[in-house]
Structure 1
Amino acid sequence: MVADPVVLVFDDREYTRSEIDLLTNGLAAVLSARGVGPGTRVALMSSNRPEFVVAVMAIWQLGASAVLISPAWKSAEVRHALSVSGALAAVGDSPVLSNLMPMVSLDDPIVPCAAPDSARRPIDQDADAVLVFSSGTTGMPKAVRHSHRSFAVAVDHWRVALGLGPSDRIQVVTPPSHILGLLNIVTAMRAGAWIRLEARFDLDRMLRRIEEDRITVEMAVAPIALAIASHPRLESFDLSSLRYIMWGATPVTRSVADTVTRRTGVGWVPAYGASEVPVIACNPIDGARLDSVGKAVPGVEIRVVDLDGRTPVDPGVPGEIQVRSPSVMTGYLPEEANATAFEDGWYRTGDVGVLDADGWIRITDRSKEMIKVRGFQVAPAEVESVLHGHPAIADCAVFGVPDDIDGERIVAAVALAEPVTDDDLIAAVVTELASYKRPREIRVVDEIPRLPSGKVLRRVLKESYGCTADH
């Protein structure tokens, strides 16, 4: 038995658990000397790298909270994050952040050292551990606060749902500033699994690492899944070590998932969570269904309520999904954002879906993104699912724009894999769906704007439409 196993790998550098601990102690000492202590909010803006993991652990060791800022953000967005969170210290590798406040640079060597006295102080489990920012699909993002207690529960839920253990080897290519990236890293470490951390998503590199490292669990969001499915040489990679690929952040696009499984033999495990409740539901490892995000994980309660009357509905009836769980966020910043976040103690996800009598959950769309055509509600994801199945479509997104007659009309933005007429695409939708769900307009774009999580930035498409269209 290896006394000090390797737990983290980055490029050709391997880190044992004791090395991570010593580096954590060293960075904690630096931060402590700068006044970081219990209750301090520390802005952390970093690329995917081992020092990110060390920084999170050092911040937590001091009883402080990590304010995770996307390394892709620009000055205005970072200023917003700092203002909303009230961060008083900073650590990272971003010149954007260092230009706004004094920052401990992760590019500087960290001197390993023994555990400081602060490491022996008990941490207040109800204090903030991490602040992440909501997707911002409708405006400037809110800060989502998680306590040490709520995040620890989420980690335990995720470990059990995915069946992670010391024999697993996972690869993390998703941004660590997103709740899923952080959750994957912390869960794998607490499960004793081996982690390959990648600086950025590169499809060939990711597939090659699966083959060389014998990765057992791969994590994917929609853009990654789409890239895998369309890889021209996918069959040339040996992916037989994979137990499954987890699909998160957005509902599964069945045509994409089926293509990957047909070409590789690897199945999928769809799951469902949010920044506010990191783990809500997950499919069973054996017997996963692509038409459902799974069932509520043990410890999480789910109900569906009517979109208008706010009353619980019967199984099989669509409505807004609401959640109760010990892993739910402490709340939002700014505080006024909490006014509509909960209803009778239930967190309002804003997702529209169906909960059947056996507990299976199917997400249909975001309530705020539903398109109302002549009084009918149209789920963009439903139309997108049909378009994704068309061989000419590389990617797509559907949104609504004001219409004097119908209230809203449906517009489909499409990135093409091959030439196709608008009429052919509209006909494909009408063949599968009710006529009022057909796009009134097809707009060809170079790419669909998405968040790192894979969620479509519909507001960007709407803004672009409003700037360029006069009709």
Structure 2
Amino acid sequence: MPDPVVPNASVPEPSVRTPPILAFGDRQYTRSQLDALTSGMATVLEERGVRAGDRVALMSSNRPEFVVALHAIWRLGAAVVLLSTAWKRAEVDHALALTRPSHAVGDHPVLADAMPMLELDQPVTPGRRTFDAPDPASDALFVFSSGTTGMPKAVRHTHGAFATAVAHWRTALALSSSDRMQIMTPPSHILGLLNIATALDVGAWIRLHPRFDVDTMLRHVESDRITVEMAVAPIALALAAHPRLEDYDLSSLRYVMWCATPVTRSVADRVTARVGVNWVTAYGASELPVITCNVLRGARLDTVGRAVPGVRIRIADLATGAPVPVGDDGEIQVLSPTAMAGYLPDDATADAFDDGWYRTGDVGHLDADGWLRITDRTKEMIKVRGFQVAPAEIEAVLHGHPAVADCAVFGVPDAISGEVIVAAVSRCAAVESDELIELVADRLASYKRPSRVAFVEEIPRLPSGKVLRRVLRERVMVSAKTGGL
């Protein structure tokens, strides 16, 4: 029997004939080493009772052990429930109650406190097993996407649909085994997961980082000769503001992909002017990972590109649902084999589709050549750095404070994060904004923390009780210019 290998320990240097495909710090892994560790992890999970069709919670930082655990769960034909390491106990408890996983794997104390968890630092004996391919129609993945009425919903993807999403992303990126990438986005987010899965599927080399740091990113673009870089708005802004950007050799980059939020053209152009890198845009969602991608050379940054092969887009009238003429705004709807199988809770699924077409909730238009432009969002969701935040989730926390008479939460545009969170609060007793912001920070993930509390006399509502968020948003944006609310 081979000697046990501790996944987070140093791994023997791979031979010239078997080059590494994954790096993390000083560690390097070949495909064979990852397969052996995956086989060993699958055996451990199997001995703990994991079977095909089971659900396994996975709460892990961005590290090789995440990749091993993810593929081990899939090799057994089970589904992985991806939990964000930014979540607090209430959020984790909600996700577990919704998905009801039978087992857990991870490196996070919140999950370990919530249910018995296999620690990722536990030694794993490499194995050499073969596994039956999972049923394409069976569940592979649960990620989380907040709704407008409460805590996050679980988005359910099948093995077949996610494999197709990987194929779509590989084609969109024109990714090959000669490419080199680094991943800094959280693996629990659909973008980070898709990047990891696609790179490994095609045999590209990837480096994982536990967190984003702009100097680390630039240093490794240079030293690792990265060819494809992924960026969300904060990363792009950090590049544009870097005082020594020109000191780094970024000539290996084919392009930088701007994902999760609309491109801030001035930021992209500033980086290009300084170091000559090309930008590309793409569009997707937790419910449908790959919708459009721009051309890889000479991208039109005022659009999110065209539908990738295998995906169809239509624009529907916001009032009637009927198709609109070319160039007119309406709800963006998508028909694709990569669409989610549904939500948990199940009753949330019906409103997400119209005769098989996924309703994105985004507003935009197609031109005569099929270029898609996004102009607004019909849903009340707040999108912060690519993460979807439900206003009602934050409102529930604020309503628990004795000084809060009423409140409403909404997003306002922000060049760095796409949107930032603002809480409008009417008070029935004295309280300062910092106290309310810290209350949310103590209860929810850091990206759900309001950037501002605006105190108002009353929260405007319709007779039905529905908050007029658009009215509040307009008041806040005007007040930012005039200095008052």
- State the TM-score bracket (shorter-chain normalisation): 0.7 to 0.9
Equivalent residue number for residue 94 of structure 2: 80
Equivalent residue number for residue 104 of structure 1: 118
Which of 251, 260, 278 is the matching residue for 1:249?
Answer: 260
Which of 128, 140, 151 is the matching residue for 1:114?
Answer: 128
Contact kept? 1:369, 1:399, Cα under 8 Å? no
Q: Which amino acid aligns with 1:465?
A: A
Which of 274, 283, 288 is the matching residue for 1:272?
Answer: 283
Secondary structure class of the residue paired with 1:151: helix
Question: 1:469 Cα shift?
Answer: 8.8
Which of 172, 180, 185 is the matching residue for 2:183?
Answer: 172
CA gap of 1:84–1:468, structure 2 versus 1, over 3 A, is: farther
Secondary structure class of the residue paired with 1:368: coil
Deviations 1:409-438 (A, max 9, x none): xxxxxxxxxxxxxxxxxxxxxxxxxxxxxx
Q: Which moved more, 1:59-68 or 1:303-312?
A: 303-312
Secondary structure class of the residue paired with 1:134: strand
Question: 1:235 Cα shift?
Answer: 1.3
RMSD: 2.8
Secondary structure class of the residue paired with 2:454: helix
Deviations 1:295-319 (A, max 9, x none): 0000000001111111111111011
Contact kept? 2:364, 2:372, Cα under 8 Å? yes
Q: How many residues align?
A: 403
Contact kept? 2:161, 2:337, Cα under 8 Å? yes
Secondary structure class of the residue paired with 2:349: helix
Tell me if 1:145 matches 2:156: yes
For the residues of structure 1 that align with 2:212 and 2:71, how far apart are their CA atoms?
24
Identity of aligned residues (%): 62
Which of 451, 454, 457 is the matching residue for 1:465?
Answer: 454
Tell me if 1:199 matches 2:213: no
Equivalent residue number for residue 166 of structure 2: 155
Secondary structure class of the residue paired with 1:98: helix
Gaps of 5+ in 1: 372-379, 389-393, 403-444
CA gap of 1:401–1:313, structure 2 versus 1, over 3 A, is: farther
CA gap of 1:18–1:319, structure 2 versus 1, over 3 A, is: same
Equivalent residue number for residue 142 of structure 2: 131
Secondary structure class of the residue paired with 2:151: coil
Which of 366, 375, 378 is the matching residue for 1:355?
Answer: 366
CA gap of 1:62–1:399, structure 2 versus 1, over 3 A, is: closer
Equivalent residue number for residue 325 of structure 2: 314
Q: Which amino acid aligns with 1:114?
A: R
Which of 209, 233, 237 is the matching residue for 2:220?
Answer: 209
Question: 1:122 Cα shift?
Answer: 3.2
CA gap of 1:370–1:46, structure 2 versus 1, over 3 A, is: closer
For the residues of structure 1 that align with 2:52 and 2:364, how far apart are their CA atoms?
40
Contact kept? 1:350, 1:368, Cα under 8 Å? yes
With structure 2 as the length reference, what TM-score do the two structures score?
A: 0.78
CA gap of 1:208–1:84, structure 2 versus 1, over 3 A, is: same
CA gap of 1:468–1:250, structure 2 versus 1, over 3 A, is: farther
Contact kept? 2:74, 2:80, Cα under 8 Å? yes
Gaps of 5+ in 2: 1-14, 383-409, 425-436, 460-484
With structure 1 as the length reference, what TM-score do the two structures score?
A: 0.80
Q: Which amino acid aligns with 2:193?
A: L
Q: Which amino acid aligns with 1:313?
A: V
Tell me if 1:18 matches 2:29: no
Secondary structure class of the residue paired with 2:289: coil
CA gap of 1:283–1:229, structure 2 versus 1, over 3 A, is: same
Q: Which amino acid aligns with 2:454?
A: Y
For the residues of structure 2 that align with 1:188 and 1:362, how far apart are their CA atoms?
28
Equivalent residue number for residue 34 of structure 1: 48
Deviations 1:178-226 (A, max 9, x none): 0110100010011110001111111110110001100000001111111
Which of 49, 52, 55 is the matching residue for 2:69?
Answer: 55
Deviations 1:119-159 (A, max 9, x none): 43231110011110115676411110110000000000000
Contact kept? 1:63, 1:123, Cα under 8 Å? yes
In the TM superposition, 1:282-297 aligns within 5 A as 282-297=293-308
Secondary structure class of the residue paired with 1:99: helix
Equivalent residue number for residue 414 of structure 1: none
Secondary structure class of the residue paired with 1:276: coil
Question: 1:396 Cα shift?
Answer: 7.5
